[in-house]
Structure 1
């Protein structure tokens, strides 16, 4: 496939557009999008206009936001209207959420009154809520329909729906009453009524529930689509698996950024300006830099210990690094388990006991290996070696318990657990490790 794309790019550079069109219309829309993104704007618009209308809409959906914006500015209102008319409703909402206000205004000008009303309603849902993810392109059925009437209804209305494999049964007030699969309808007696074959035990979400919760519902029930209801239990829309995959990708990216002490950003790395990247990183770096004054204060407090036994200084980086790494391991596992719903606040004690057991095993082994290294290989004084290794054991235990507890505390107080990851844990463990180190040194070395 790579050589085909390179061949088409070569033909474009040679301006052999007839051959380009013959080749490009047979490619996957994703690959056509990749080609367009690698062209100058004038050539990209030319190739985009070569595509059959339906294919152009599919390709538009796979182009990055920056290029979508350029295309909207460059094509006619008639072409914009065709794209808007053919895009699935949830994809159109995603597009509008990403675009600047002036582009949104141009798109809305090419929408009819009913569409504009729906768009404005969807754009008012809280960001990252089920309502902001859903689409209105689903098939609904009345429970008193016969199976024959239901199938005719699907044939008539289903052509522009995002999915017809699951149909939702509503009453006269649009309250969700059940769900029935297309397979069930086709295999049932055509004279039966829909309410006789529908499943009344419906898994659904509310418009204002968080997208992470919705993703958890998809995982828990192993489904590919979920209905969305409002506070009166009226069917409002559906969320499909393709949107949830995007959510999972977005949430994972956000967690990684928070765990690395950066403000979350949805923009691609190469498309983000250096000032924006710097701003996203700077706040936490300042906080962590200032928090390091705690460790500096501890070092100053125990200055007499360091002056008496200078060799203790050499082991401080190793203790602090091991503590930070140990805490990060526990925090990563706990944060992931919280995100997957494997643990919650009521499991705090079990998590602590598990990490205590792990930390004792890891701490004893690390301390033993370290003792062999610094006492036998480096010839360090026996009492100094014991001081370092006992401190190492306490540091690992402290780090792993802190790393396990902080994310759960964050969840309890409604803060993203990822914020309590590596940087904050490292700061706490560093201060604790130094306190333990110098206290043990004073005790064992009689300082």
Structure 2
């Protein structure tokens, strides 16, 4: 639905809410796609959002709830707190993976109260999923899937799918298990539809499948989905028992969260900042101050390095003119290199064993970049201070090489230390390049000018 359509509906809903035309709203909402209703609810004030949500039919309400922001979900739960039956019905209708994600963001005592509203089956599923580590694949999976036994016929399997597939997240892929419920294969639904009714499932199997481990990190799921281009993947425990599936929509949400987290870390934020418009000044301050203070301490070293070359600066004041240009070039080259490496490590395009090979290549690229940039700065120096053209040119080449090597190496170092490579942030790389640049520049100047 386009923005202007949502705006028109927004105004229409507000008018009908004021006039109490609730039946008309419900009838109209029956024909709206759930994503459009979710967008509309986000644009309404709290009171109108609650009224509209309560007018939705139960199945659609559950779907819409899964698409809302955490803040809006919490507001609706609070508004429905006095409607225990309606709230319990909503929670029971949520898909296990979305419900787990929601529960995981709530304080423990609230989660416990909501768990008590679930029926026995859904409560067992919720407790099971919440038992996995926070960033594990187990937290992402849903227990709503369809599996068939390898000794069944196609006809038996299709009857089973018709009976139980209604609650499944997807039936594009059907999972095959043995008597112990150990995963042994997966089949496309079309393979079953096109096969003869009395064909045994084991006759359709090729025993080639891809699965995820419940205790593995969620980033593993992202890489596996990218590699195999699937819409869903089975999840197994340590014994190979099928315990759930992960769908691509949940993995896309995780990928977005990971990208957001890396983006903020690369900007020297301690943690990701969600909804900055709603965040308090104190919260934003706490997220930014630690890294900035650390970088101030690092930059003091840069200032001390400049102070140690005071005599050199007094002898050739023109050197100061090129200082910002040169050290910024090193920081910029390092930032470019780090950005490439962080992404390569995150996407599995590069591994720790590739560091030396990439270092050699980066040095070659850095030399070409440095020489090209040195030619440019030499032309500028020719107009300003011809006497120091060699110093400026040599410094540019050296600084670009050092900056590029630092930018490439820090993400690998952080990975080796078990830290997030995105924490090798641009300001940190720039600060290191600044210190190196000052030392290289004035050392070369001392040597060349015989000071």
> Hey, what does 1:49 align to over in structure 2?
54
In structure 1, distance between residues paired with 2:113 and 2:328:
54
Deviation at 1:22, TM superposition (A): 4.1
Pair 1:331 & 2:332 matched: no
Among residues 287, 291, 315, which one is paired with 1:284 in the alignment?
291
Instruction: String of CA shifts for 1:388-426, please: whole Å, max 9, x gaps.
Output: 221011000111111111111222222111111312211
CA contact (8 A) 2:137 2:216 kept: yes
Confirm or deny that 1:388 pairs with 2:389: no
CA distance in 2, matches of 1:182, 1:266: 42
Question: 1:248 & 1:134 partners in 2: Cα distance?
Answer: 15
Aligned counterpart, 2:187: 180
1:38 maps to which of 43, 46, 67 = 43
Report the Cα offset of residue 26 of structure 1.
2.5
Partners of 1:278 and 1:202 in 2: CA distance: 48
Deviation at 1:106, TM superposition (A): 3.3
Q: In the alignment, is the contact (CA less than 8 A) between 1:250 and 1:266 conserved in 2? A: no
Q: SS where residue 144 of structure 2 aligns?
A: coil
Q: Name the structure 2 match of 1:370.
A: 377
Change (3 A) 1:335 1:431: same
Shift of 1:266: 5.9
Is the contact between residue 180 and residue 199 of structure 1 (CA under 8 Å) also seen in structure 2? no
Q: Does 1:73 align with 2:86?
A: no
Partner of 1:7: 8
Residue pair 1:403, 1:421 contacting (<8 A) in 2 also:
no
- The Cα of 1:323 is off from its aligned counterpart by 0.8
Q: Distance in 1 between matches of 2:377 and 2:70?
A: 53
In 2: Cα distance, 1:73 partner to 1:168 partner: 39
- Once the two structures are superposed, the pairs formed by residues 292-441 of structure 1 within 5 Å of their partners are 292-376=299-383, 378=384, 380=385, 382-441=386-445
In 1, distance between residues paired with 2:74 and 2:113? 11
Whole-angstrom distance in 2 between the partners of 1:102 and 1:270? 28
- The offset of 1:102, in angstroms, is 4.3
User: Which ranges in structure 1 are unaligned for 5 or more consecutive residues?
Assistant: none
Residue in 1 aligned with 2:136? 129
1:208 aligns with one of 198, 215, 235: 215
Superposed CA deviations along residues 205-254 of structure 1, whole A, max 9, x for unmatched, are: 11111111111011111111111111111111111100111111111111
| Structure 1: distance between partners of 2:422 and 2:375 | 32
Query: Distance in 1 between the 2:421 and 2:355 partners?
Result: 14
Tell me the C-alpha RMSD between the 2 structures.
1.6
Q: CA deviation at 1:24?
A: 3.5
SS in 2 for 1:370: helix
Answer yes or no: is the 8 Å Cα contact 1:391–1:437 preserved in 2.
Answer: yes
For the pair 1:244 / 2:260, whether they are aligned, the reply is: no
- The answer to whether structure 1 residue 444 and structure 2 residue 451 are counterparts is no
Would the aligned equivalents of 1:137 and 1:161 in 2 still touch at CA under 8 Å? yes
2:239 is paired with a residue whose SS is coil
1:99 has 2:106 as partner = yes
CA distance in 1, matches of 2:6, 2:90: 25
| Larger mean Cα displacement after TM superposition, 240-249 or 301-310 | 301-310
Count residues with an aligned counterpart: 444
Q: How far apart, CA to CA, are the structure 1 residues paired with 2:179 and 2:26?
A: 50
Q: Is 1:58 matched up with 2:66?
A: no
- Aligned to 2:282, which of 264, 275, 283? 275
Given that 2:96 and 2:125 are in contact with CA atoms closer than 8 Å, whether structure 1 keeps it comes out as: no
In the alignment, is residue 231 of structure 1 matched against residue 238 of structure 2?
A: yes
Aligned counterparts of 2:68 and 2:113: Cα–Cα separation in 1: 19
For the Cα contact (< 8 Å) 1:8–1:23, is it kept in 2? no
Q: What is the CA–CA distance in structure 2 between the aligned matches of 1:287 and 1:82, rounded to whole Å?
A: 50
CA shift at 1:444, angstroms?
0.8
SS for the counterpart of 2:148 is: strand
Equivalent-residue separation in structure 2 for 1:9 and 1:131 (angstroms): 38
Q: What is the Cα deviation at residue 2 of structure 1?
A: 3.0
Cα deviation, 1:11-38, whole Å, max 9, x if unaligned, reads: 3443244244444432222222222222
- SS of the equivalent of 2:245 reads strand
Q: How many Å separate the matches in 1 of 2:171 and 2:449?
A: 76
Unmatched tracts of structure 2, length 5 or more:
none
Q: Report deviation, 1:264.
A: 2.1
Structure 1 residues 21 and 158, CA, compared in 2 at 3 Å: closer, same or farther?
closer
- Measure how far apart 1:261 and its partner are: 0.3
